[in-house]
Amino acid sequence: MEQACGTITPARGSIMKKRVLGALFALASSLAISQAFAADGGTLYFGLSGEPSTLDTTINAGTPARTIRLAIHRGLVNYGADGKLSNELAAFYDVSPDALTYTFKLRDAKFHDGSPVTAADVKASLERIKAPDSKATYRNEIGIIDTIETPDAKTVKLTLAKPFVPLIHYLALPESAIVPAAWLKQHANDPNATPIGAGPFKFANWERGRELTVEKFDGYYKQGKPHLDDVHYVFYGDENTRVNALKSGDVDIIDYVPWKDAAAIEANPDLKLASTSGPFMMLQFNTKFEPFSKPEVRQAIAYAIDRSAIINTAFNGRGTPLFGIAIPEGYLGYSKDKANYFSHNIQKAKDLLAKAGYPDGFQARLLSTSQYGFHNNTAVAVQAELAKIGIKVTLDLPDWSGRIAKNNAGDYDFLVAGTAGDIADADWLSNFFYGGKQLVRLNNSAYFDDPTINALLDKGRVTLDPAEREKIYGQFVDRALELSPFVYLMWRDQSFGLRKTVKGFTNIPGFLTFQSGITVEDTEVK
């Protein structure tokens, strides 16, 4: 801009001359502006907190895998930068009044191999998730689709046996991406096949242990996107190395900024922090372990823990206390009154323990992991807090893999979990609270199975009327607080660190922060 101004200062003489110079000035300014803000091209170096174990589109293998897959693939719908559903491969869709039929009209989009995205590809992709031998993370949810019809190449009709209101949200997950039917036929079970999607970037190269590169896909269906020529996803398992790589300019953006480094990134004139508070920390109980089988004991723990101790010990003060159920404001089921149902009240906690028959406390084993500082330190803080009401906690701190195995096997008395809901619909609660057939899962309190809660969650899924749904989830919250199968501790800040030269990347608020990788299609780098 300043240079452009400089070119017109000597303008003197005739009106004509002034006009010409004025036009030149306008041209120069617009060029300068377009150069500053819409610099298409360039390479983005994206430091990820780990290397994906798999790029299988149907498996949720963690945030780094999702971030990469959201560059390569698109679904019928996805969550956009504003956290709302956005039509992607579907130009539009229609839900029948009884919510049993979803009709999608596909837009003219292409896969990276040049073939058009057709109804047959959608059918093959969704049927792969539904298949009885499928390893898909959301097999149960997508499995609710009864039949998939393809009346023509651009129309897909999904029919359900009973209504399932949150279906569209599950279809928006990165794990519901659409891939070519022909590709699936050949490569569905080959972990080394070159992924093909219809996303803004095509897979270029994966140097195992180092980085994965994607390149701009010129045939992307959104005009003028993506802006970048290529993106290098560089794997930094060590958080300090990742932060140093950002500070020194080796990479332009990093995920999972460690809480201890957030302030330094904010203070750095070359860097900026994109923060949101979506994920939460909680305690999950094995409800077969005797003291924890009693709701009063779990409630006592909810009262006993000073949330600020955890926020300060494990998150450098970067979080918000959570004294109710982890429902973000604006999500169905949120109510201001219930948001702080519990409070920090040692006496109340002691009374509840006494009422449950443990006036002198008891011993329990808390599972967490030494691999991640915030998990480890949350456990340490909980141990100290519970000592105040006589609960002697021993810590079980294997590495992450060991913790996952113990969690999935129900081998814990209680555990520290840090997670978020999968979708922006209230049905995210089912994954955590529903009993059902598989009573020991990653995200539920082991063996917790309450018929009232199950019935309310079932009802919430099939109810179309929003006001009625609101009521159902209100009842659910009351029951959930009464039984407290989880004790929620805090909303934690979840941040990306960026160099100031990066524009257009958004940390999607709420639970969807882990799907922010989709906004790489809007990202520019100067």
Name the site residues for other proteins (rule: CB under 8 A): 51, 53-54, 59-62, 133-135, 137, 139, 191-192, 207-210, 234-238, 240-241, 244-245, 247-250, 371, 398-402, 404-406, 408, 411, 419, 431, 438, 441-444
- Least distance in angstroms from the C-beta of 398 to other proteins: 5
The two three-digit tokens of residue 432, written as one number: 């955590």
Give least dist CB 514 to other proteins, A: 8
The H-assigned helical ranges of 287-335 are 295-304, 307-315
CB of 63 to other proteins, least distance (A): 8
Nearer Cβ to other proteins, position 133 or 360?
133
Tokens linked to 217? 């896909």
Nearer to other proteins, 59 or 483 (CB): 59
- Which of 253, 356 has the CB closer to other proteins? 253
How far apart are the C-alpha atoms of 339 and 322, rounded to whole Å? 8
- Closest approach of other proteins to the CB of residue 487, in Å: 20
Among the listed residues 172, 139, 144, 181, the one whose alpha carbon sits nearest the alpha carbon of residue 159: 144
Minimal CA–CA distance to 303: which of 180, 481, 68?
481
Cis peptide before 226 (omega within 30 of 0): yes
Phi-psi region of 408 (alpha: psi -120 to 50; beta: other; left: phi over 0): alpha
CB of 133 to other proteins, least distance (A): 6
Minimum Å gap between C-beta 244 and other proteins is 4
- Nearer to other proteins by Cβ, of 182 and 440: the residue is 440
Q: List Cα–Cα distances, 145 to 127, 426, 492, in angstroms.
A: 9, 19, 35
Residue type, 397: L
Number of C-beta neighbours around residue 44 at 10 A? 25
When the beta carbons of 44 and 386 are compared against other proteins, the nearer one is: 44
Q: Shortest approach of other proteins to residue 442 CB, angstroms?
A: 5
From residue 131, give the alpha-carbon distance in Å to each of 123, 127, 197: 12, 6, 21
CA–CA gap between residue 389 and residue 265 (Å, rounded): 39
Please, are residues 206 and 20 in contact by the beta-carbon 8 Å criterion?
no
| 260, 492 Cβ separation under 8 angstroms | no
**Half-sphere exposure (CA, 13 Å, Cβ side) for 319?**
30
Give the shortest CB-203-to-other proteins separation in angstroms: 14
Q: Which is nearer to other proteins, 44 or 106 (CB)?
A: 44
